[in-house]
A and B are shown apart, each in its own frame.
Chain A
Amino acid sequence: SQKIEQNSEALNIQEGKTATLTCNYTNYSPAYLQWYRQDPGRGPVFLLLIRENEKEKRKERLKVTFDTTLKQSLFHITASQPADSATYLCALAKGADKLIFGTGTRLQVFP
């Protein structure tokens, strides 16, 4: 069965540094992958989508890479700020309609 792994340990970084979160998957070849942000007590919020034929996608301070050979996506936040502190979820497309979510990585940016 498909398996999605995100680092369950919280990532703590200093303000201004680049945060890098990892999403690995096995037994699957998704057509696209999405990243979501989730704050405590709220639903996930969509951030970025990257397709299997794209290597990299950027949006403001966010960058996502997608390596279909390694079966891995990296999510970068440059010039991180305390307001970036949240849990970040990766989600893989399964078929045309469904998303399979990872368990998420909690990011804490301290001043």
Chain B
Amino acid sequence: DAGVIQSPRHEVTEMGQEVTLRCKPISGHDYLFWYRQTMMRGLELLIYFNNNVPIDDSGMPEDRFSAKMPNASFSTLKIQPSEPRDSAVYFCASSLRGGGRLNEQFFGPGTRLTVL
């Protein structure tokens, strides 16, 4: 398996522009998580999905952030409009629950976002 795939790996944009981050989870996984990592705040959970349905979006910082999962193999995280304080590394992770599994999460390589 190729693991969790994220694109783009790097994104540089100007304040006010729309940013769309993409994620392809591991095939067969039923949970998908979006995280943001900064030096100051560490790794923060933004939102997660179970079977393509958003379960908890309490970590989404503002209405400028939105996430979708139209099918089991694709999810997007959108920021509109972007601000310099959104600069961070955004990670997508997936997991497969149930059946006594360890509940470990598999992370993608991340997207480094810089908003100028």
- Main secondary structure on chain A at its contact with chain B? strand
- A100 touches B (CB below 8 Å): yes
Nearest-Cβ distance from residue A47 to partner chain B, whole angstroms: 9
Interface residues of A (CB under 8 A from B): 32, 34, 41-46, 49, 89, 93, 96-104
Closest residue of B by beta carbon distance from A93: B103
Contact A101 B43 (CB under 8 A): yes
Contact B91 A97 (CB under 8 A): no
**Could you list 29 examples of A-B contacts with CB < 8 Å?**
A41-B110, A43-B4, A43-B91, A43-B93, A43-B107, A43-B109, A44-B91, A44-B105, A44-B107, A45-B107, A46-B102, A46-B105, A49-B102, A49-B103, A89-B43, A93-B103, A96-B97, A97-B55, A97-B56, A98-B45, A98-B56, A99-B45, A99-B105, A101-B35, A101-B44, A101-B45, A102-B42, A103-B41, A104-B42
- B65 touches A (CB below 8 Å): no
